[in-house]
Structures are given as C-alpha cells and as structure tokens.
Amino acid sequence: MDEMGGLADETESGTRTLDAMGAPPLANAGESIALLADAVARVAKTSAGISGELRMVAGEIRASRDEYRRVDESGANGMPKPP
C-alpha cells in the first residue's frame, strides 16, 4: 500500500515541478514572432491542463489505495479465526 502513496506523492511532485516552469523568454524572431508567441502560449495552456489532470490522478491513486485497504481489512475481519 505504501507504494501507491509513493506513486501519488511522485505524481504530485511532478506536478509541482511542471507548475514551477515558466515560459522561456521569446527570442527576436522577426516576422515570425507572432507564430512563436502563439506556439509558446499553446504549450503553456497544454501544460496547465496536464498539471490539473496529474493532480486528479494523484487523488484517484490515493482513493484506490484507501478502498483497497478497506476491502482487504473487511475481508480479513470476516475470515474464520483459528480455535
């Protein structure tokens, strides 16, 4: 079970790293500056979406871990006890 918590922690750590990245300064691309700025904006928007999805995945991993524990403990408690 600790592996699932670790996986969720690593996922959130990746999200924090992604969130901390900023767009690089735009180079002088002459006439192509508008195209370059649009491309950078699209990458930034996509990374924000990925970041949000990763947070959701981390939460789902933890929820799955908790449900597995609940079911496992319930099953263990329902087992016959040795005399």
DSSP H or E segment with residue 69 = helix 33-77
Closest CA to 52 of 6, 9, 5, 12: 12
pTM of the model: 0.67
Q: Residue 67, Cβ neighbours under 10 Å: how many?
A: 10
Provide the residue ranges of all domains of the chain, joining segments of one domain with +.
2-22+31-76
- Judged against a pLDDT cut of 90, whether residue 20 lies above it is answered with no
pLDDT tens digits for range 27-45:
777 888 888 888 888 888 8
pLDDT tens digits for range 60-83:
999 999 999 999 988 888 777 777
